[in-house]
A = this chain, B = another copy of it.
Amino acid sequence: MAVQPALSFVRGSQAPIVAQLREFVRFPSVGAQPKHNADVARCAEWLAKHLRGLGMPRVRVMPTERHPIVRADWLKAPGRPTILIYGHYDVQPADPIDKWTTPPFGGEVRGENLFGRGACDDKGQMFAHVKAIEALLRTRRALPVNVKCLFEGEEESGSTSLLPFLKRHRDELAADVAALSDSPMATLDRPAITYAMRGSLSLTLTVRGPSRDLHSGLFGGAIHNPLQALSEIVASMHRSGRVAIEGFYDDVRDWGANERAFMARHGPSDAAILEQAGAECGWGEAGYSLYERTTIRPALTINGISGGYNGAGGKAVIPTVANAKVSFRLVPDQDPRKIEQLFQRHLRKVTPPTVRVAVKTEFMARPALIDRRHPVFRAAAFACRRGFGKPAAFLRCGGTIPVISMLKQQLGVPVVLLGFGRPDARIHSPDERLHLPTFFKSVSTCIYFLTAAARMNAMQADRAREFAT
């Protein structure tokens, strides 16, 4: 199937496509914040309507316990492979909002970038697949493969409704491979095919002290302060750049010289990572590159601490409670459930008798590792080379997409991650942006990918070997 008409269609439709993207980004579809529940629902309806408009049959907005899942199927290529395309239309909270140059949900275009929370993660990246489908449908009235779209609204809050959804609709979602774009490029002009992601375990730790806020003048020195106890507990979790929880590294897989050399060839240098981070120096576990520390080594990050008075001026208070948001990033063969137990055991060991701690598990996801020898990776590599004019890098990613292990476990499919997110996209940060020339290259890549996937005769389920978890 020739791709040129589809590519030309996209070239000729850039203005309306950007207008559609801006509409999409303007929904404040923050799945984690209940105040945005209605915005999330409206965003799902918009997406469904959009899919219907471009000719996808069987478009449905399917309710879940929390946010709806948008589904669409095009299944008119019997005998051809079926590709499940996953994306998420929910976005991270926009905080700290005052650090944005333009409103996070304004969808403003300045220069070559479209600014907005979710512009890159994941609205822009998933829209590349949508526009590839549209271009093929409009120019050929058919797709080269069968396609099932699965767009969820809870990715940024742990994809909790997705697992029961996958279980309930397992047969309906059967596919040969799953493809998704929700990961970074290797460099500003080189896409990445991601074959490993870290798992995650997120917890809220609460330390309680006196039954009410106390005057720190009257009681300071005689009553333990939950903020201080929390700080001491948090401090106990690291030593010399390593996680100091007993047993934490027991199941961490050691990688041989071959894999580490492959990683060094494909992955970013320390300098590149520091530049991306806007940091002057690295930190962490001795004996590993920064790329290794964020991919084949686990990490523990405190995402937030709150307690007491933090407004203007001061307030002489010993607060009754202090909270920390704790998140682990896990690697093969760590099990989030076991790490949760080790964390609880550590807390029992370090918590002084003067305060009480409670832990709420927010979500967990196993690490994911895909066999990069699967033939779908050849199709992906070919598509990237055509779409971007550069060979893709094969990368591990430090982030977590819980859906990857879910798709693998529930549907038994390998997952190919086509990373179209520029390193300077500032995902999860103020002034998140989508670089529009890159976006249009990613649309072309998706067109090539669907076309190449159709030609792959080797895409049998029995080839979907994965070399780990």
Q: Mark A357-398, 1 if CB is under 8 A from B, else 0.
A: 000001100000000000000000000000000000000011
CB distance from A414 to the nearest CB of B (A): 21
Contact of A215 among B211, B223, B323, B427 (CB under 8 A): B427
CB distance from A251 to the nearest CB of B (A): 16
Contact status B303-A305, CB under 8 Å: no
Query: Is A262 close to B, CB under 8 A?
Result: no
Most chain B CB atoms below 10 A, which of A92, A214, A220, A353: A220
Contact status A306-B297, CB under 8 Å: no
Contact status B216-A329, CB under 8 Å: yes
Contact status B200-A217, CB under 8 Å: yes
Measured in the bound complex, the distance between the Cα atoms of B238 and A204 in whole Å is 24
Stretch among A15-23, A76-84, A166-174, A283-291 lining the B interface: A283-291
Contact of A426 among B212, B225, B327 (CB under 8 A): B212
Stretch among A6-14, A103-111, A309-317 lining the B interface: A309-317
Contact status A299-B221, CB under 8 Å: yes
Please indicate the chain B residues that have their CB under 8 angstroms from the CB of A298 in the complex.
221
Most chain B CB atoms below 10 A, which of A223, A325, A352: A223
Q: Given A224-B279, A228-B234, A304-B317, 15 more contacts at CB 8 Å?
A: A157-B313, A216-B329, A217-B329, A220-B294, A221-B301, A221-B398, A222-B291, A222-B299, A225-B301, A281-B354, A301-B316, A304-B307, A305-B307, A310-B323, A315-B325
Measured in the bound complex, the distance between the Cα atoms of B301 and A225 in whole Å is 7
Contact status A210-B306, CB under 8 Å: no
Complex copy number for this chain: 2
Query: Is A112 close to B, CB under 8 A?
Result: no
Contact status B302-A157, CB under 8 Å: no
Please indicate the chain B residues that have their CB under 8 angstroms from the CB of A427 in the complex.
215
Contact status B222-A284, CB under 8 Å: yes
- Chain B residue nearest to A427 (CB atoms) is B215
Contact status B218-A398, CB under 8 Å: yes
Contact of A399 among B217, B307, B310 (CB under 8 A): B217
- 5 tightest Cβ-Cβ pairs between the two chains A and B: A32-B313, A221-B299, A217-B399, A304-B308, A211-B278
Please indicate the chain B residues that have their CB under 8 angstroms from the CB of A217 in the complex.
198, 200, 329, 397-400
Interface residues, chain A, with chain B CB atoms under 8 Å away: 31-34, 92-93, 95-96, 99, 156-158, 184, 198, 200, 202, 204, 209-225, 227-228, 230-232, 234-236, 238, 273, 277-279, 281-285, 290-291, 293-294, 297-319, 322-325, 327, 329, 352-354, 362-363, 397-400, 426-430
Contact status B277-A210, CB under 8 Å: yes
Contact status B310-A222, CB under 8 Å: no
- Chain B residue nearest to A227 (CB atoms) is B302
Contact status A315-B93, CB under 8 Å: yes
- Chain B residue nearest to A278 (CB atoms) is B211
CB distance from A36 to the nearest CB of B (A): 10
- Chain B residue nearest to A428 (CB atoms) is B215
- Chain B residue nearest to A281 (CB atoms) is B354
Contact status A279-B209, CB under 8 Å: yes
CB distance from A343 to the nearest CB of B (A): 15
Please indicate the chain B residues that have their CB under 8 angstroms from the CB of A305 in the complex.
227, 230-231, 305-308, 310, 322
- Chain B residue nearest to A217 (CB atoms) is B399
Given contacts A215-B399, A231-B231, contact A221 B309 (CB under 8 A): no
CB distance from A115 to the nearest CB of B (A): 14
Please indicate the chain B residues that have their CB under 8 angstroms from the CB of A291 in the complex.
222
Please indicate the chain B residues that have their CB under 8 angstroms from the CB of A303 in the complex.
216, 227, 308-309, 314-319
Most chain B CB atoms below 10 A, which of A32, A238, A304, A323: A304
Contact status B429-A314, CB under 8 Å: no
Please indicate the chain B residues that have their CB under 8 angstroms from the CB of A234 in the complex.
227-228, 231-232, 235
CB distance from A112 to the nearest CB of B (A): 20
Contact status B212-A430, CB under 8 Å: yes
Contact status A316-B428, CB under 8 Å: yes
Contact status A220-B329, CB under 8 Å: yes
Contact status A96-B213, CB under 8 Å: yes
Measured in the bound complex, the distance between the Cα atoms of B382 and A280 in whole Å is 67
A sample of 19 cross-chain residue pairs with beta-carbon separation below 8 angstroms, ordered by A number, consists of A93-B311, A93-B315, A95-B311, A198-B217, A212-B429, A214-B428, A215-B427, A215-B429, A217-B329, A220-B329, A223-B279, A230-B231, A231-B302, A231-B305, A310-B325, A314-B325, A314-B363, A315-B428, A317-B429
